[in-house]
Amino acid sequence: MSRTIIDYLEKQKDNSCTAYIDGDTEVSFKDILGKAKVIASNLSAYLKPGEPAAILSGRHTGTIAGYLGIVYAGCYYAPIDGEMPVSRISKILSLLNPSVLITDAEFRKTAEECGYSGKLLSLEELSEGTADEEVIRARTAHYDGSDPLYVLFTSGSSGVPKGVLTGQESVMNYIDAVCEVLDVKEDDVLGNQAPLDYIAAIRDIYIPFLTGCKTVILPKKEFAMPSLLFRTLIRNGVTILCWSAAGLETLARLKAFDCKPEDLPVQLKTILFSGSVMPGKVLRQYQEHLPRTRFINQYGPTEATASCTYYEVDHVVAEDEVLPIGVPYRNYTIFLRREDGSEAEPGETAEICVGGPGVTIGYYKDPERTALSYIADPRDPGKRLYRTGDYGRYREDGLLEFHGRMDRQVKHFGHRIELDEIEGAAGRIDGVEGCYAYYDREKEVLCLAYAGTALKSDIAKAFRKDFPAFMVPRKVTQLEEIPKLPNGKTDMSKLREILKGQ
């Protein structure tokens, strides 16, 4: 029988050391598991084993206890960001159709406004009482490593959120692999940046259970105040950051390194970044100010359980350098797929497909989309691959490069253009602090929106210097900022609304 997430959690059941820190509150492994079991015992009156439970709660340790409580109840959790528009939350709940929606005091009003007709439960009330170990054992007895652990809802091209259903084995496989690369020790401290409902947060939630280390849930407001954030990192002895590249870029843009040397978090051993392409000029700032820190570039979609490849930066990067995405994590495989389904040769650009136990179960209640994206592995038809929709190419040294999204390639004046390449070039221009390239198909115009102090003429000069005329954006729009989602990626809905008025 395969191991389950319960095996993972129970390793720390008697550990009285701190697992999570939230502001001035510290909670031990023993206490958070105890709280989770109380929640599970109370939930058993409302949920059948194997059902999903939605949870809408804030950035605190109680939310993690809620996730684990749902798991101990023999179910799987669907975390929802309470700061999303109510209409978006309603769409997710309509698709998920859960028997219960768990919420905390902070988001109770939001939960009441989203039109949910099922049972609304208080996280605080579920945390009261005592645990019934017999009930918990009975409800988790059916567990197998292939059973779902959570379902995360991401944006869908049709405007309907898509739920990525992820199995226990996939999460455990990824956490095992990333811990090896990060070389996490019991005395390490993780600094959590990602929203707890976002895929990147699984590292901060589950790595402590494998290694015995602890996670500090960093105050959200401090991400806009680098001096305060650096003090928090130093005070808590944070040694590892697993952050979005966009989050690190924001700190650099806010002049985080314009401080005294003694105010720098030099105790940081490792910074792992992912989610988008890290500009060389930003990474170089971190390398120059934190010379003893390891930097690791990570790549992978939610459908591959957070990430599937990594590259440890082994040199001080050039400002215009684009990093490779490296090699697969242990137990992951990469297949570069041509349009006809065959495998690409080294040096040939093709679609990145991911294989191995890290590949997720599929899309929630969407068998057609699942069948299109999760396909048989030609190397072993009994196994599956996930089609990422990203282009990749192997270099001569065996490292994988990212070459943009398949749906971000446009044809302009007969030439194929990667919009990601346009953004990468713009991002390297002095004074550009964020950008987004797009194509107006009706007018056949290549466009660029950007934020920062650079002049439009600076951008035009830079492009004309390095690119052919057909790759020079003809419409350039300067914005106060490029709107971002909580995970650091561009908020496309908000950006489109802004650009409509330009």
In this prediction, residue 157 carries a pLDDT of 47
Q: What is the DSSP string of 287-309?
A: HHH-TT-EEEEEE--GGGSS-SE
Share in percent of the chain as helix, strand, coil (round to 5): 35, 30, 35
Query: Could you tell me which of 43, 35, 44, 33 has the C-alpha nearest to residue 11?
Result: 33
Beta bridge partners of 380: 377
Q: How far is CA 201 from CA 28, 213, 285, in A?
A: 19, 15, 25
Beta strands, E only, 428-474: 432-440, 445-452
CA angle centred on 434, ends 429 and 436, rounded to 5°:
100
Question: Do β-strands 475-479 and 445-452 pair in parallel, antiparallel, or remain unpaired?
Answer: parallel
Cα 33 to chain centroid distance, Å, stands at 25
Neighbour tally for 395: CB within 10 Å: 11
| Section 69-96 average pLDDT | 92
pLDDT grade, residue 492 (50/70/90)? confident
Q: How far is CA 33 from CA 45, 195, 207, 209, 477, in A?
A: 19, 21, 15, 11, 51
Residue 488 pLDDT > 70:
no
Beta bridge partners of 18: 28
271/239 Cα distance (integer angstroms): 9
| Domain 189-324 CATH class label | alpha beta
CATH fold of the domain at 5-166: Rossmann fold (3.40.50)
Beta bridge partners of 122: 103
Q: What is the mean pLDDT of the chain?
A: 93
In this prediction, residue 469 carries a pLDDT of 82
Query: Could you tell me which of 78, 50, 74, 102 has the C-alpha nearest to residue 151?
Result: 78
Residue 274 pLDDT > 60:
yes
In this prediction, residue 15 carries a pLDDT of 97
Q: Which two tokens stand for residue 186?
A: 């019991």
Q: Which two tokens stand for residue 479?
A: 């914005």
Q: What is the DSSP string of 49-103?
A: TT-EEEEE--SSHHHHHHHHHHHHTT-EEEEE-TTS-HHHHHHHHHHH--SEEEE
Q: Which two tokens stand for residue 324?
A: 């490779």
Q: Residues 6 or more apart from 148 whose CB is under 8 A from it?
A: 52, 76, 165, 166, 167, 168, 361
Report which of residues 387 and 91 the model is more confident about: 387
**Residue 289 identity:** H
Q: Residues 6 or more apart from 460 whose CB is under 8 A from it?
A: 472, 476
pLDDT tens column, 121-158 = 999 999 999 999 999 999 999 999 999 999 999 865 44
Question: What would you report as the CA-atom Rg of the chain, rounded to the nearest whole angstrom?
Answer: 23
Predicted TM-score (pTM) of this structure: 0.86
Q: Which two tokens stand for residue 161?
A: 């959120």
| Section 170-190 average pLDDT | 97
pLDDT grade, residue 491 (50/70/90)? confident
71/312 Cα distance (integer angstroms): 34
| Section 282-289 average pLDDT | 97
What interhelical angle do 245-253 and 280-289 show, nearest 10?
Answer: 70
374/93 Cα distance (integer angstroms): 24
Q: How many residues does the chain have?
A: 502
Half-sphere exposure of 190 (CA within 13 A, CB side): 31
Q: Residues 6 or more apart from 479 whose CB is under 8 A from it?
A: 449, 450, 451, 498
Beta bridge partners of 391: 351
For CA atoms 253, 254, 258, 261, give the dihedral sign. negative
Q: Which two tokens stand for residue 184?
A: 């996490």
Q: Which two tokens stand for residue 402?
A: 């990212």
18/208 Cα distance (integer angstroms): 10
Q: Residues 6 or more apart from 469 whose CB is under 8 A from it?
A: none
Half-sphere exposure of 310 (CA within 13 A, CB side): 22
pLDDT tens column, 43-72 = 999 999 999 999 999 999 999 999 999 999
| Section 299-323 average pLDDT | 95
| Domain 333-403 CATH class label | mainly beta
What interhelical angle do 456-466 and 419-427 show, nearest 10?
Answer: 120
pLDDT tens column, 388-415 = 999 999 999 999 999 888 877 787 776 7
Neighbour tally for 69: CB within 10 Å: 31
Q: What is the CATH number of domain 413-500?
A: 3.30.300.30
In this prediction, residue 155 carries a pLDDT of 66
In this prediction, residue 486 carries a pLDDT of 64
For CA atoms 326, 290, 283, 250, give the dihedral sign. positive
Query: Could you tell me which of 283, 281, 316, 284 has the C-alpha nearest to residue 297?
Result: 283
Residue 502 pLDDT > 80:
no
- Residue that is written with structure tokens 């567990």 in the block: 143
Least confident of 35-49, 166-180, 278-292, 438-452: 438-452
Give the residue extent of every domain in the chain.
5-166, 189-324, 333-403, 413-500
**Residue 247 identity:** G
Residue 14 pLDDT > 90:
yes
- Residue that is written with structure tokens 């924001």 in the block: 250
443/332 Cα distance (integer angstroms): 43
| Section 236-249 average pLDDT | 94
Asked, colleague to colleague, whether 5-166 and 189-324 share their fold, the answer is yes
pLDDT grade, residue 501 (50/70/90)? low
40/43 Cα distance (integer angstroms): 5
| Section 187-207 average pLDDT | 95
